[in-house]
């Protein structure tokens, strides 16, 4: 069954789109997404999206694109910052996108759920030579979210199908912006599989003031390499920050530094703003979420997954170290699309 997708072109009135570009430029710096952590003690040393990393390495080898680990890290080590989350607005003015009725209406249609509550807006920035590995986004369940539960584990929960009564349906819009209409750099198209991992890949090029809304927690997707084919991505360090100085994008060694490591224009980078909203069947369902009724815990989640592995004849699992169990769960429940040449 083909997953529903909604393309919005144009997304905002021109003046609002220009205002969003100003917000992106004026935000006080963009750091690395890879430094994000969850509060869970389970498998604390396992990278948050080890599932996508493992598939990226394997698929590259199968497609004849084997690259060194350092280069793979550099290609996928992109920048991210949150503009709004819950009641916390960190980029004043982003409400014009956060509370966009067109996105809310598409979200209602996507899941057939009338109560839509915007949850987050965050910016992703990719630099020349970077790409986004094929993946599904991190879903959310009552009691299990990216703040308190390892991200790869939440993805496994959804792929297993064992926790659907607790799932929070989330609509995601990926939107694109660029200064003076710059929004179509070489490469950087969104690749997605609305017919499932066995279906054909679809592609959507970036374009200023455009967007697409879909269920990215279920639909596999990624971003194709940005820039010319021979573009070499910068090697980013944990403290690095990308800032706009009013004229161009500057890569700094750390926040507060005036040193410039590299410079790019709007036409060389890829800026996307992701909008996510919870979709509820009714107010009672939203109340259950807000009051933490019937929440899951990591122990309950792992017990249920271990039991299912036993029923599948996979095991024994009781004596596995956390990292070993993580890899077994990912290999058991996740099935990615075949690599695209």
Phi-psi region of 265 (alpha: psi -120 to 50; beta: other; left: phi over 0): beta
pLDDT computed for residue 114 by the predictor: 97
User: If pLDDT is split at 50, 70 and 90, which confidence band does 327 have?
Assistant: very high
* Token reading at 286: 């939203």
What does pTM read for this prediction? 0.91
Residue 59 confidence (pLDDT) above 80:
no
User: If pLDDT is split at 50, 70 and 90, which confidence band does 184 have?
Assistant: low
Please tell me whether the peptide bond between 316 and the residue prior to it is cis, using omega within 30 degrees of 0: yes
How many angstroms separate the CA atoms of 319 and 225, rounded? 41
Burial (Cβ within 10 Å: 0-12, 13-18, ≥19) of residue 87:
exposed
User: If pLDDT is split at 50, 70 and 90, which confidence band does 341 have?
Assistant: low
DSSP letter (8 states) at residue 3? P
3-state secondary structure of 181: helix
3-state secondary structure of 187: strand
* Token reading at 269: 């980078």
79's enclosing H/E stretch is: strand 79-85
CB atoms within 10 A of CB 260: 13
Tell me if 279 sits within 8 A of 116, measured CB to CB. yes
3-state secondary structure of 275: strand
Which CATH architecture does the domain made up of 6-35+65-141+173-296 adopt?
Sandwich (2.60)
- Point out which residues pair with 116 in neighbouring strands: 279
* Token reading at 310: 């036993």
How many angstroms separate the CA atoms of 223 and 185, rounded? 13
pLDDT one-digit tens code per residue, 198-207: 999 999 999 9
How many angstroms separate the CA atoms of 215 and 220, rounded? 9
């Amino acid at each position: 069954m083909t997953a529903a997708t909604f393309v919005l072109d144009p997304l905002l009135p021109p003046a609002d789109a220009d205002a969003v570009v100003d917000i992106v430029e004026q935000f006080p710096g963009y750091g690395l997404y890879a430094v994000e952590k969850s509060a869970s003690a389970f498998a604390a040393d396992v990278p948050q999206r080890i599932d996508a990393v493992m598939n990226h390495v394997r698929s590259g080898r199968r497609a004849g694109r084997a690259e060194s680990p350092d280069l793979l890290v550099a290609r996928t080590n992109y920048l991210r910052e949150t503009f709004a989350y819950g009641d916390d607005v960190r980029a004043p003015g982003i409400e014009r996108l956060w509370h966009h009725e067109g996105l809310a209406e598409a979200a209602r249609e996507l899941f057939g759920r009338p109560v839509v509550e915007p949850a987050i807006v965050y910016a992703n920035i990719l630099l020349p030579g970077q790409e986004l590995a094929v993946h599904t986004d991190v879903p959310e369940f009552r009691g299990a979210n990216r703040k308190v539960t390892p991200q790869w584990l939440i993805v496994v929960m959804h792929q297993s199908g064992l926790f659907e009564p607790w799932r929070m349906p989330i609509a995601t819009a990926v939107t694109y912006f660029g200064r003076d209409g710059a929004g179509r750099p070489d490469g950087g198209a969104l690749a997605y599989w609305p017919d499932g991992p066995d279906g054909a890949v679809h592609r959507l090029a970036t374009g200023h003031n455009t967007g697409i809304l879909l269920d990215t927690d279920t639909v596999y997707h990624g971003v194709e390499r940005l820039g010319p084919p021979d573009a070499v991505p910068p090697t980013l360090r944990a403290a690095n920050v990308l800032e706009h100085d009013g004229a161009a994008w500057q890569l700094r060694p750390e926040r507060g530094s005036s040193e410039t490591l590299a410079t790019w224009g709007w036409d060389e980078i890829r800026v996307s703003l992701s909008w996510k909203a919870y979709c509820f069947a009714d107010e009672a369902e939203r109340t259950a979420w807000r009051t933490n009724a019937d929440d899951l815990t990591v122990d309950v989640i792992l017990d249920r997954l271990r039991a299912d592995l036993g029923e599948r004849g996979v095991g024994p699992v009781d004596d596995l170290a956390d990292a070993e169990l993580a890899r077994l769960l990912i290999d058991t429940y996740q099935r990615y699309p075949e690599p695209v040449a």
